[in-house]
C-alpha cells in the first residue's frame, strides 16, 4: 500500500482529499479532470490551510491550470472552470 502524502509538506499523517476547484459544481469537474490533491489537515482545513489562505488557494489553482494547459487550451480551461488564474 502506498501512503498518501500532503502535496505541500509531504507528511503522511491526517491526509484529506482537496478539490482544487470547489463549490458551484466545480468539485465534480475537479474530479473529472484529476484536479484533486492530498493535503494534510493543517494545509487543508487548518487556520493557514487552503480553505482559509487565499495565497495557497491561488497557488494550487495556478499550478493545476498550468498543468491543464499542457494538453488543452486556455479557452477550454476558461469554458470549463469559468476564469483564468494565470493572469
pLDDT digit of tens for each residue in the chain (87 aa)?
568 999 999 999 999 999 999 887 899 999 999 999 999 999 999 999 999 999 999 999 999 999 999 999 999 999 999 999 998
Whether the Cβ atoms of residue 26 and residue 81 lie closer than 8 Å to each other:
yes
Q: List the grid coordinates of 83.
A: 476564469
pTM higher than the cut 0.85: yes
pLDDT at 24: 78
How far, in Å, CA of 55 to CA of 71, rounded?
26
pLDDT at 1: 57
Q: Would you list the DSSP string of 9-74?
A: T---SSEEEEESS-STTHHHHHHHTT-EEEEEHHHHTSTTSTTT-HHHHHHHHHHHHHHHTTTS-H
Amino acid at each position: 500500500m502506498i501512503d498518501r502524502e500532503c502535496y505541500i509538506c509531504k507528511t503522511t499523517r491526517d491526509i484529506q482529499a482537496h478539490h482544487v476547484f470547489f463549490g458551484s459544481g466545480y468539485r465534480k469537474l475537479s474530479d473529472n479532470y484529476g484536479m484533486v490533491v492530498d493535503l494534510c489537515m493543517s494545509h487543508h482545513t487548518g487556520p493557514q490551510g487552503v480553505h482559509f489562505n487565499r495565497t495557497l488557494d491561488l497557488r494550487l489553482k495556478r499550478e493545476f491550470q498550468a498543468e491543464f494547459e499542457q494538453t488543452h487550451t486556455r479557452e477550454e480551461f476558461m469554458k470549463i472552470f469559468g476564469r483564468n488564474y494565470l493572469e
